[in-house]
Structure 1
Amino acid sequence: MKKFVQSGYQYRNLSLMILLLLTVLVLSGCSEKHDTELIEFGTLNLSDWVPKDDVTVRLNGEWELYPGKLIEPGEFDAYKSDKIYFNVPNPYTKGAHGETLEKEGVATLRLVIKMPKTAPDTKVYGLIVRQVMTASKVWINGVVYSEVGVVTQDPEAFKGSFERQVITFKQELPELEIVIQAANYHNIVAKIRDIQLGTALAVKHHYMHSVSSDIFITGALAIMAAYHFALFFKRPSYKAPLYFGFFCLIIALRNVMVGGRFVYEIFPNITIEQLNRTAFLTVYGGLPFIVSFFRTLFPRKIPARLLHILVVMTLVASSLTLFTPIVIYSRLLILYEVVFAAIFLYLLYAIFYEITQKTQGATILFVGVLVYVGATFNDMLLQEGIIQTRSLASIGFFIFIFSQAYIMAIQFSDAFDKVDKLMEENKAVYRDDLTGLLNRKGYYEKAEAVLKEARGSKRSFAIIYGDLNRFKQVNDNYGHKEGDKALIMTASLLVEGSHKSDVVARLSGDEFIILSTELRTDAAVLNRIDHISNLFDNYNIKSIKPYQLSISMGYALYDADANQSLDMLMLVADKGLYLQKESFAKASDRRIK
């Protein structure tokens, strides 16, 4: 790779600052406003709470929990001996006081809230239940408002769902009772995530913000995938955009599945088994593509053997995910996450090595990868139930995209610079240094293309072959510098007298040629020759030069039926030029006598 020149470091540092700023803005823009009220012993006092339409309250703390029981409102007095407390949000593994909980089975949660005293009968509230185990039914003040999945003690009849529940209700009592029946079977992790209360408008804003954020990120990832595929098709030999495009698609799919669970808005009938399998496959499938991408960028430190091993591991893990139950394939996730962590730490080392070598763009890519790795570790801990946050992998990847796009922009910019340089060099090969016209090589390349087109279309064209009169006398009497000026002026007059689509070239010395697809008859060519001669005459009238500038011209018309070659056309035009030269010489001799 090319190394940065000194000024390149300034652009790199500026881009690094922009990347960090984008990181802060995106992460802060993805957060919603919350108040957190601590629940103790199954009750929460919100009597002094002032509801706002842009803030929700997290109902975190000790909910009443009745493990192994499905209890409906009004029946709790009969189950007092079964009551323990559970800290929401948390994995469903231990109670608030260390009680061991079985992840498979049923449970009932209950919370009583003392509501605000200010006109509760006129306030419409909302409740957001993100995930309570893998199926849940919600009662509010004794009325069933929502159910996702099928909550039952029969594992065969059970149906799971990760769909988010958004509930609105009118509160007319001083106390609000929330009862949630929940169940989990056949899923490796049972979680109870945060539950939020607010005004109906606040809940709506929260939901719309979450969905729109996920749609924006997913759309951006899909667009970036398409963009990188387009880059690859423009330059198929360079496969980094192809690998990164597939990785973008996989992360976009993962964001649909696990981000805000808005997959249910698209596929309302998707089963939890289908969702789990797809989510696991996005974990396994993305890694080979991103490692291939980095290997293309930094081949010195990423061996091919590492990629081959990773591909085999991915195929094995993906096959087990497709053809075995979740209790089997889910156990591979922890192992794969360890592999993921090890590989990304190695990638960071490889990129850091490139930084020490002052490789172009390595620093900003290092920062982007660091952000993405941090966000991915957040999702790993979230998946294991160790922390309770939102999924950040897609957001981290969104930041990473900018660092990667920076690298691609530099590389393709360098490629365009090389192309421009080559084009300039090619111009030197095909252009006459003195006049700027095409030289002999440039003319014949253009002329062959025109001849090929004319043979196919059966259309005629003309060549006008010109030679300056008594140009040797200009060089002999006034010097070669003045001769060069005469040649430059001749080129200018010929271009002025030609059509913009004509090919005008200097073949050698004082020999010039015009190839025109606009001229198809003898009359048209002769008119053009007269027009050019008049331009020379007008120049001589205005010129203060001590010599007259004139040109003799012969021409030839291409006849498609005669299957003529360029050499044959040149021979015809040269004969016409010779006759014009003789005529000019005789006329000059008569003037001298």
Structure 2
Amino acid sequence: MRYLLLFLFLPSALLAAPTAVQGKLDLHAWDLNDPVQLFGQWDFYANEFLSPDSLKEAPPAAHYIDVPSFWNGYDYDGRILDGHGYATYRLQVSGDFAGKPMGLHIADMQSAYELYVDGQLIASAGKPGTSAETAIARWAPQVAYFQPATNTIDLVLHISNYEHRQGGTWAYFTFGSAKAIAYERDLSVAFDLFLAGSLLIMAFYHLGLFALRNEDRSALYFGLFCLITTLRILVSGERVLTTFLPEMSFAIQLRIEYLSMALGLPLFTAYIRNLYPDTAKWQYFIVTDVIAGVAAAIILFLPTDIFNHTSVPLQLTIMAVSIIIFTVMIQTIRKGRDGAIPAVAGMVFLLFCLINDIAYVHGYIQSINLYPFGLFVFIFSQSFNLSLIFSRAFRSVERLSTDLALTNDSYSRFVPREFLRHLNKQDIREIELGDQVEGDMTVLFSDIRSFTSRSEKMTPQECFQFLNDYLGRVSPVVRSYGGFIDKFIGDAIMPIFPDSPNNAVRAAIEMQKEVARMNERGTEPLQIGIGIHTGRLALGTIGERDRMEGTVISDAVNLASRLQDLTKKLQSPIILSETTYNQISHREGMRYLGSVRVKGKSELTRIYAVDLDLPVTAADQNARL
């Protein structure tokens, strides 16, 4: 919360805080339970390491330099300082803190230092030296605690830099009560860990999305960008990674920090190009990607005092890319793309934080490092944008799945699922012309008697309505006994019973009973004849590439049809072949009719009737007479 308030009210906060003037800072009026930045004019002695005792006893004439700032370009007795060298800083702080536990939060110094309070060494990072050979650079933000004996403390800082292009104090010293400083440091570390953890989760989430759906590379590039940004946060700010890897050298830290900029830039432009291919053309980013690639090679293979000069070109390139992406996002908003508005808001916030940090790093303004926070907000907005896109894609998939299920259901009305099952197919899309399977099955052939004369009395609409009413009653009977209807042939139907002839006979009996129930409505009596035969069938597809259908090819089909023809002549509603008769288990109510020679068969066929207790029509009475 403290950092959020500092961010919201940063200008007024900086103006209200006391400022050091000519090496002295008075904090008597300041409540040190609220930590204060020790910025302002410190005594400055270039190219000298003066001991705390010598400064107290006989301090030489001092120059003054703002803290934090770099000494690059500083006019020191007519000599313009460059980034390399060493110096002594001094600040005398007065306030109401004698005998109280106090603390200092020391951020990055450039690039090795020792800090003394009242002559006692309380903190160091690396080893400051008078030459590149004697100095050891190291970044290690830390907290130091002490208890002043008086109300005035004497801060002396020895600092050297031979690794970076800029030398001096990069960040603030924060002074306050020990409890307040510990709280501030813990909050700062917690915030870095929160950012790193959040970005790491986003990285793995989007990499997981890509693993599951690798057609969309935007998730891959965004996940890698989050991963690199996570690494950058861990080696900057409080440099949490050094807590787990205390021996990590300054050069490695700096290399990782700079590489995260150089590699993150093309990854992010690739993400934008894949996310908005219609507005983010690859030509927009070719120059910036080349700059980033060259910078990455320099960072990887050249020493720190050379590759750290890539910082400014990379920052300017990032600014240029941000402006290009901002333009792309505005075009995206105009096209009404989902999630574009949150993405633009995140981009504007990141640009603000980026400009703030560039100005802060180069010493143009007094501020705080906002880039990690701005990056988090921006990445969160982009993650939200990706979530919207994937959510929309998921809803589209759901709709397509529902449509596909409905389509398959519709196809099943034309191609029975049992037909697919017997061909060992899971989906109609797997069906190929010529697919076929053979097996012993029972064919039932049913036909309405005198349908032609009946249909002549109906209009086409009435005829269709009559047939659909009839078929709507007998078809469920077939399915209830394990059969499936291979064909509707006008008023005739041809079900197949793959499992047992018993099911076919039971279905035939139930079909006749269903017709009897229809006749109870008092309309013109309806009669059907059913022929049943069991034999070897070939079930498969015929036709040509653009038009095919399922069918059954076998002499058993022809024989079942001929037996149905005999039902009217022999006045038996159901006639079985001997083959079927021999395979059924219950034969009560069945009688032998004799041997007949059916059309298309040279041999006699023994046939059996299934007697039913059904009403006899006038036509049947006349036929028997």
- Asked if these proteins are the same fold (TM beyond 0.5), I'd say yes
Give the conservation status (yes or no) of the 8 Å contact 1:439–1:506.
no
| CA apart distance, 1:43 | 2.6
Give me the whole-angstrom Cα distance separating, in 2, the residues matched to 1:207 and 1:557: 88
Give the conservation status (yes or no) of the 8 Å contact 1:139–1:179.
yes
Query: Of 288, 295, 299, which aligns to 1:321?
Result: 299
1:222-256 CA distance string (max 9 Å, x none): 22222222222333232222222222222222222
For 1:271-310, list aligned pairs within 5 A: 271-310=249-288
Seen in structure 2, the aligned counterparts of structure 1 residues 307 and 93 have a Cα distance that, compared at 3 Å, is closer
**5+ unaligned residues in a row in structure 2: which ranges?**
431-437, 542-549, 575-608, 621-625
- Percent identity over paired residues: 20
Q: Which residue of 2 aligns with 1:257?
A: 235
SS in 1 for 2:214: coil
Give the conservation status (yes or no) of the 8 Å contact 1:125–1:200.
yes
Give me the whole-angstrom Cα distance separating, in 1, the residues matched to 2:494 and 2:408: 15
- The residue identity in structure 2 corresponding to 1:64 is D
TM-score of the superposition, structure 2-length normalised? Answer: 0.71
| CA apart distance, 1:479 | 5.9
| CA apart distance, 1:168 | 1.8
Seen in structure 2, the aligned counterparts of structure 1 residues 394 and 49 have a Cα distance that, compared at 3 Å, is closer
Give the conservation status (yes or no) of the 8 Å contact 1:40–1:62.
yes
- The residue identity in structure 2 corresponding to 1:448 is L
Task: Decide which moves more: 261-270 or 79-88.
Answer: 79-88
Seen in structure 2, the aligned counterparts of structure 1 residues 133 and 514 have a Cα distance that, compared at 3 Å, is farther
Seen in structure 2, the aligned counterparts of structure 1 residues 113 and 442 have a Cα distance that, compared at 3 Å, is same
Seen in structure 2, the aligned counterparts of structure 1 residues 580 and 393 have a Cα distance that, compared at 3 Å, is farther
Q: Which residue of 2 aligns with 1:219?
A: 197
Query: Of 15, 20, 30, which aligns to 1:39?
Result: 20
Task: Decide which moves more: 526-535 or 143-152.
Answer: 526-535
Give the conservation status (yes or no) of the 8 Å contact 1:364–1:403.
yes
- The residue identity in structure 1 corresponding to 2:53 is G
1:456-487 CA distance string (max 9 Å, x none): xxxx99989878785997x9698644654665
| CA apart distance, 1:77 | 4.2
Q: Which residue of 1 aligns with 2:51?
A: 72
Q: Which residue of 2 aligns with 1:206?
A: 184
Give me the whole-angstrom Cα distance separating, in 1, the residues matched to 2:439 and 2:117: 88
Q: Which has the higher helix share?
A: 1
Q: Which has the higher strand share?
A: 2
Q: Which residue of 2 aligns with 1:371?
A: 349
Seen in structure 2, the aligned counterparts of structure 1 residues 508 and 266 have a Cα distance that, compared at 3 Å, is farther
SS in 2 for 1:75: helix
SS in 2 for 1:350: helix
1:337-387 CA distance string (max 9 Å, x none): 333322322222233233334444433332222222222233333333333
2:42 equivalent to 1:63: yes
Seen in structure 2, the aligned counterparts of structure 1 residues 145 and 298 have a Cα distance that, compared at 3 Å, is same
SS in 1 for 2:42: strand
The two structures, once aligned, show a CA RMSD in angstroms of 4.8
| CA apart distance, 1:321 | 1.5
Give me the whole-angstrom Cα distance separating, in 2, the residues matched to 1:491 and 1:172: 103
Q: Which residue of 2 aligns with 1:3?
A: none
Give me the whole-angstrom Cα distance separating, in 2, the residues matched to 1:70 and 1:556: 110
SS in 2 for 1:151: coil
Give the conservation status (yes or no) of the 8 Å contact 1:440–1:508.
no
Give me the whole-angstrom Cα distance separating, in 2, the residues matched to 1:203 and 1:75: 30
Seen in structure 2, the aligned counterparts of structure 1 residues 147 and 549 have a Cα distance that, compared at 3 Å, is farther
Q: Which residue of 2 aligns with 1:439?
A: 414
Give the conservation status (yes or no) of the 8 Å contact 1:464–1:553.
no
Give the conservation status (yes or no) of the 8 Å contact 1:368–1:399.
yes
Q: Which residue of 1 aligns with 2:581?
A: none
- The residue identity in structure 2 corresponding to 1:405 is S
**5+ unaligned residues in a row in structure 1: which ranges?**
1-22, 454-459
Q: Which residue of 1 aligns with 2:115?
A: 138
- The residue identity in structure 1 corresponding to 2:23 is G
Seen in structure 2, the aligned counterparts of structure 1 residues 142 and 419 have a Cα distance that, compared at 3 Å, is same
Task: Decide which moves more: 246-255 or 574-583.
Answer: 574-583
Query: Of 73, 85, 94, which aligns to 1:105?
Result: 85
For 1:178-217, list aligned pairs within 5 A: 178-192=155-169, 193-217=171-195
Seen in structure 2, the aligned counterparts of structure 1 residues 529 and 212 have a Cα distance that, compared at 3 Å, is farther
SS in 2 for 1:81: coil
| CA apart distance, 1:182 | 1.3
Give the conservation status (yes or no) of the 8 Å contact 2:515–2:526.
no
Query: Of 132, 148, 152, which aligns to 1:171?
Result: 148
Task: Decide which moves more: 344-353 or 542-551.
Answer: 542-551
| CA apart distance, 1:218 | 1.5
- The residue identity in structure 2 corresponding to 1:89 is P
- The residue identity in structure 2 corresponding to 1:380 is I
Query: Of 351, 370, 387, which aligns to 1:392?
Result: 370
| CA apart distance, 1:414 | 3.9
Seen in structure 2, the aligned counterparts of structure 1 residues 468 and 160 have a Cα distance that, compared at 3 Å, is farther
Give the conservation status (yes or no) of the 8 Å contact 2:477–2:510.
no
Give me the whole-angstrom Cα distance separating, in 1, the residues matched to 2:198 and 2:334: 32
| CA apart distance, 1:97 | 11
Give me the whole-angstrom Cα distance separating, in 1, the residues matched to 2:123 and 2:413: 79
SS in 2 for 1:162: coil
Q: Which residue of 2 aligns with 1:330?
A: 308
TM-score of the superposition, structure 1-length normalised? Answer: 0.75
Give me the whole-angstrom Cα distance separating, in 2, the residues matched to 1:464 and 1:413: 51
Give me the whole-angstrom Cα distance separating, in 2, the residues matched to 1:214 and 1:352: 31
2:102 equivalent to 1:125: yes
Number of positions where the alignment pairs a residue of Structure 1 with one of Structure 2: 542
SS in 1 for 2:123: strand
- The residue identity in structure 1 corresponding to 2:62 is K
Give the conservation status (yes or no) of the 8 Å contact 1:554–1:575.
no
Seen in structure 2, the aligned counterparts of structure 1 residues 256 and 482 have a Cα distance that, compared at 3 Å, is farther
1:2-59 CA distance string (max 9 Å, x none): xxxxxxxxxxxxxxxxxxxxx989966999x99833223323333344443xx31222
Task: Decide which moves more: 164-173 or 535-544.
Answer: 535-544
For 1:368-517, list aligned pairs within 5 A: 368-427=346-405, 429-432=407-410, 438-440=413-415, 444-449=419-424, 480-481=464-465, 484=468, 508=488
- Choose 1 or 2 for highest CA Rg: 2
- The residue identity in structure 2 corresponding to 1:325 is P
| CA apart distance, 1:412 | 2.9
Structure number with greater CO (CA < 8 Å, separation at least 6) is 1
Q: Which residue of 1 aligns with 2:546?
A: none
- The residue identity in structure 1 corresponding to 2:322 is F
Give the conservation status (yes or no) of the 8 Å contact 1:114–1:174.
yes
1:430-468 CA distance string (max 9 Å, x none): 3338xxx54317654454345999xxxxxx999898787
Give me the whole-angstrom Cα distance separating, in 2, the residues matched to 1:513 and 1:92: 96
